Every structure is written in C-alpha cells, then in structure tokens.
Amino acid sequence: MAAAYEPPASDARGELVIRPSWRALGRWLTPIVIMLIVGFALAKLFAQPQELVAAFGIGGAVFLLYGIWQALYMLGSRITVTADSILVTHMFRSTARVACRDIDRVVRLTLFASRLRFYYARPAVLAFSANGRCILSLHGERWATEDLDRIWRYLRIAPEGSWRRIIGEQDLPIEFPGAF
C-alpha cells in the first residue's frame, strides 16, 4: 500500500516554488540545434530529392517529439521549499524530499565533466548532512543559478564556495570523502 501524501508545512512567508529556467535550457540545447542545421545542410548538398524529403521528415519528427518531451519535463518539474522541507519534483521521476533540519552544509561549485568526448561545465549546489553524506544535488542544467541561490536565502543558510570554483566530476569523492 502506498504511503499517504503529507503536504509540506509552510511558515508565514508561504512556500517558495521554483520552476526550471528556459534560459538555462538554452545553454545545452544550442549545440543540438547547430548539429541539426549542419546535418540538414549536408543532406541538401549530397542527397537525392526523395532521400532529402525522408531525411527532413524523420529529422523533423524526432526534433518535434524531443521538443514535446522537453516541454513536458520543464512544465512538470519544480522545487518547492517550505519551512521544514525541500521537495524536488521531476515530471518523469519520483519526488525527492529532504528535511531542512538534515542539511548541515551547502556548497556551490561548477562541475566539469565529459560525456561521449564532449566536455562541459555545469553549476551545481550540493547539500550535505551532518555525517558528510550528500543528501541533495541540484544542477544548473535546468535551474537558473539565481533561483538556486534563492533557496538558501529563503532557508537562511549561507552556502560555501562560489560558481567560479571548478571541480572535475571524477574529483568529487576526493574533495568530499564519503559523500557519494
């Protein structure tokens, strides 16, 4: 049987609701659009007309479906901050709930990583418990850094570090032993 939903408590200020930033999305969507434009230009130069129609049709359908998925994800995701908890809701994943009293330390930084030989840096906020475990990580791929800062101002927690501090993803276990 599923556990009953318990609505978050709020103080006199009400709850703080943060939605994903469409501007933050543009940082990593731009290379995809550029690759599509280059791909279609090359198809126009080297493909036969009937192949070109198929390429544009398939490419357009994939791009449209990806856009619909991305819009649903952005519209269905949010961070809700109340006096007693932080709830991170994603459209296609379960909701994460962290009690504010469990947060002992908050660190702002920029993670440097590579995926499939593409290197990128993304801002991140890591919240640690008193025993040093990472209990919440919020990445700036979806959320604006100004919005991530608003969470900690709302909770009156002063984060350590800055967005200019760059750490390699592989160095996180060294920098924060036992956290991950």
Q: What is the pLDDT of residue 8?
A: 45
Q: What is the pLDDT of residue 23?
A: 72
Long-range contacts of 160-164, Cβ-Cβ distance < 8 Å, separation of 24 or more: 160/105, 160/106, 160/107, 160/108, 161/107, 161/108, 161/109, 162/108, 162/109, 163/108, 163/109, 163/110, 163/123, 164/110
- Residue 171 pLDDT > 50, yes or no? yes
133 domain residue, yes or no: yes
- Residue 157 pLDDT > 70, yes or no? yes
1 domain residue, yes or no: no
- Residue 6 pLDDT > 50, yes or no? no
- Residue 129 pLDDT > 60, yes or no? yes
Tell me which of 12-26, 66-80, 163-177 is least confident.
12-26
Contact 101, 85 (CB under 8 A): no
Q: Residue 58: is it exposed, middle or buried by C-beta count within 10 angstroms (0-12/13-18/19+)?
A: exposed
| Neighbouring residues of 126: CB distance < 8 A, sequence distance ≥ 6 | 106, 107, 109, 134, 136, 137, 176, 179
178 domain residue, yes or no: yes
Q: What is the rounded average pLDDT of the residues 103-130?
A: 85
153 domain residue, yes or no: yes
- Residue 1 pLDDT > 50, yes or no? no
Q: Alpha-carbon distance 104 to 71, whole Å?
A: 34
Q: What is the rounded average pLDDT of the residues 40-49?
A: 73
pLDDT tens across 78-108, in order?
Answer: 999 988 899 998 877 778 899 999 999 999 9
* pTM tops 0.75: no
57 domain residue, yes or no: yes
Q: What is the pLDDT of residue 169?
A: 85
163 domain residue, yes or no: yes
Residue with tokens 């908890």: 85
- Structural domain span for residue 98: 16-180
Domain count, the chain: 1
Q: How far is CA 5 from CA 25, 95, 180, in A?
A: 31, 11, 28
